[in-house]
Homo-oligomer: A and B are copies of this chain.
Amino acid sequence: MKDSLIVVSGGMDSVTMLYEFREEIALAVTFDYGANHGPKEIPLARMHCERLGIEHIVIGMDFMTKYFESSLLSGGEAIPEGNYDEENMKSTVVPFRNGIMLAIACGLAESRGLKRLMIANHAGDHAIYPDCREGFVKAMSLATQEGTYDHICIYAPYTNLTKGEIARHGKALGLDYSETWSCYKGGEVHCGKCGTCVERREALAEAGIEDKTVYSL
């Protein structure tokens, strides 16, 4: 049944989820919160939705650029390089980003009569981003159920998968990951050095996928 709304960024994880659950998805929403890599990621989200015949809307969140603190909103130069670990990546946290995206998605789903919200947080995010952890997703799902007439719930089936395991799902689906974007710097091509680029390379290698991404290094 097509009763789900998915939050899709244009990155590896949400694009994999979009294809894996395409029969259940009625609406895909991308949030433009002024991230450095938005101009690279958002057109890819749109392209995949068009290819699958899924309605896609982009919701702007200008207030984040204006009032929120994060290196992810401050230009590519501010993004740390090296591993995707806590110390290194903490500056990239956008406070309560998943909470905000899920709350807006919930209101939109209720306006459209949809029953379920999907989001592609995964195990690799847990150390750095509190709003990617299972405890958050469970509490937020209870909040959306309690706070809506239709008892809308959240479904986050990748919560305990690694990015390498998600890439294996994508491999089985025949996805071409060069049609996704990861780099937090948002340059012409992937930088190859920032935490998200390092994590992308490792995940593709772990899944035994030939990496066709163009990296600057």
A residues near B (Cβ < 8 Å) are: 57, 59-60, 62-64, 67-69, 93-100, 102-104, 106-111, 130-131, 133, 135-136, 139-140, 142-149
Contact = CB atoms under 8 A, between A and B. Distances in A.
Given A69-B111, A95-B111, A139 B146 contact: yes
Given A97-B107, A107-B94, A130 B102 contact: no
Contacts of A96: 103, 106-107, 110, 144, 147-148
Residue of A68, A107, A133 ringed by the most chain B CB atoms within 10 A: A107
**Oligomer: number of copies:** 2
Contacts of A106: 95-96, 99-100
Nearest to A104: B100
Contacts of A107: 64, 68, 94-97, 99-100
Nearest to A110: B95
Contacts of A133: 146-147
Contacts of A135: 146
> Closest 10 CB pairs between A and B?
A131-B147, A95-B110, A103-B103, A96-B107, A139-B142, A139-B143, A95-B107, A136-B146, A136-B147, A140-B143
Q: Which of A93, A103, A110, A147 has the most CB of B within 10 A?
A: A147
A140 B99 CA distance: 10
A110 B98 CA distance: 14
A138 to B, nearest CB: 8
Contacts of A98: 147
